[in-house]
Amino acid sequence: MLFLELSKSRAELAFRLDVHRERSDAEGMKGCESRLAAVQGQLSELSERISRAGVTVAVPCEREIARLNESLAGHSAGGIAEAMKKRDGELYRILAQRGELLKRNFESREDIAKLSILLSRLQKDVRDAVAEAVRSGRLGQPIPIVKGEEALGRKVALILGRLGMPAQVEGGSLVPAEGYGEVAVQVHHRRVWVTPEVHEKLSLNLSKLRDIAPRIQLSNAVRQIKKFDEKEEKEFAAVQNEYLRLLKEQDDLLREFRDEENLSTG
């Protein structure tokens, strides 16, 4: 999500600018100020477009992040840099806590974007209540779902779970849930959400693929410089077939979750 990427860049540039300012590094300050102004301009334009479109962007734990930012405001860039270097003390604890929240939100930017689209389809009072719950980092009181929008509510609940707030639609309201119905797994450098049962099978599948891939690469390399005899060809074909079987198994395991790409529009 571009909004979160730009916000992350703004925070990093603001910190670098403070460091350059404290060191009286005029050239470094000039470069940071220029990049920061460009990022801020992009953020302002994007925020205006989001506002005109009537889209609500709810960033998880936004209230806590703001509180941590206020705690850091009284410290110099040099003090913050020193705390980062020592990796100890109260200041470092605040920095680590904020960093973890920012990192988690950045990694969840796709789900935050999907939630924004889903929220735009909810009745305003429901949308505002869900957005506030997300910003506070917890789903407290039950949030009534308008009759006829239960399916939409369940999609919202699914995304809330991915953002660290397990939820479900029960008795016509969005309420906290006791556990998570999905588990995240990395597939081809991308995070995919699946059920715990599928996660177990998929983890085994990915492990087997990691084991067999080097064998195929080695066989292909050897095959380039020598002609395989009949036995070697059969062994090579068997490894290839097993690799293809594992890929098909992975595709079958993920098939029912591929429609989650259209979660916000379906």
Alpha-carbon span 58 to 117, nearest angstrom:
11
Q: Are 145 and 174 in contact, with CB atoms under 8 Å apart?
A: yes
> In the beta sheet, which residues pair with residue 227?
none
**The tokens of 100 are what?**
């973890």
Task: Write down the residue that tokens 């097993």 correspond to.
Answer: 242
Alpha-carbon span 183 to 242, nearest angstrom:
27
Task: Write down the residue that tokens 């797994």 correspond to.
Answer: 185
Q: Are 163 and 60 in contact, with CB atoms under 8 Å apart?
A: yes
Residue 265: its pLDDT value, please?
46
117 exposed, middle or buried (CB, 10 Å; 0-12, 13-18, 19+)? middle
Dump pLDDT digits (tens) for 249-260.
Answer: 999 998 877 655
Q: What is the pTM of this model?
A: 0.73
Domain spans of the chain, in order of start: 2-110, 111-176, 183-262
Dump pLDDT digits (tens) for 32-62.
Answer: 888 888 888 887 777 677 666 667 889 999 9
Q: Which residues contact 49 (CB under 8 A, 6 or more apart)?
A: none
Alpha-carbon span 149 to 121, nearest angstrom:
9
Bridge-based pairing of strands 183-187 and 190-194 is antiparallel
Backbone angles phi and psi of 87, in degrees to 5: 55, 45
On the question of pLDDT at 157 being above 90, the answer is: yes
Alpha-carbon span 68 to 169, nearest angstrom:
32
Among the listed residues 98, 77, 97, the one whose alpha carbon sits nearest the alpha carbon of residue 25: 77
The SS3 call for residue 169 is strand
pLDDT (average), residues 217-232: 90
On the question of pLDDT at 262 being above 60, the answer is: no
- The CA angle 230-233-236, to the nearest 5 degrees, is 155
Alpha-carbon span 40 to 6, nearest angstrom:
8
- Find the helix or strand (DSSP H, E) in which 235 lies: helix 230-255
Indicate the residue type of 25: D
Q: Which residues contact 46 (CB under 8 A, 6 or more apart)?
A: 2, 3, 6
Dump pLDDT digits (tens) for 77-134.
Answer: 788 888 888 889 999 999 999 889 988 998 888 899 899 989 988 988 999 999 999 9
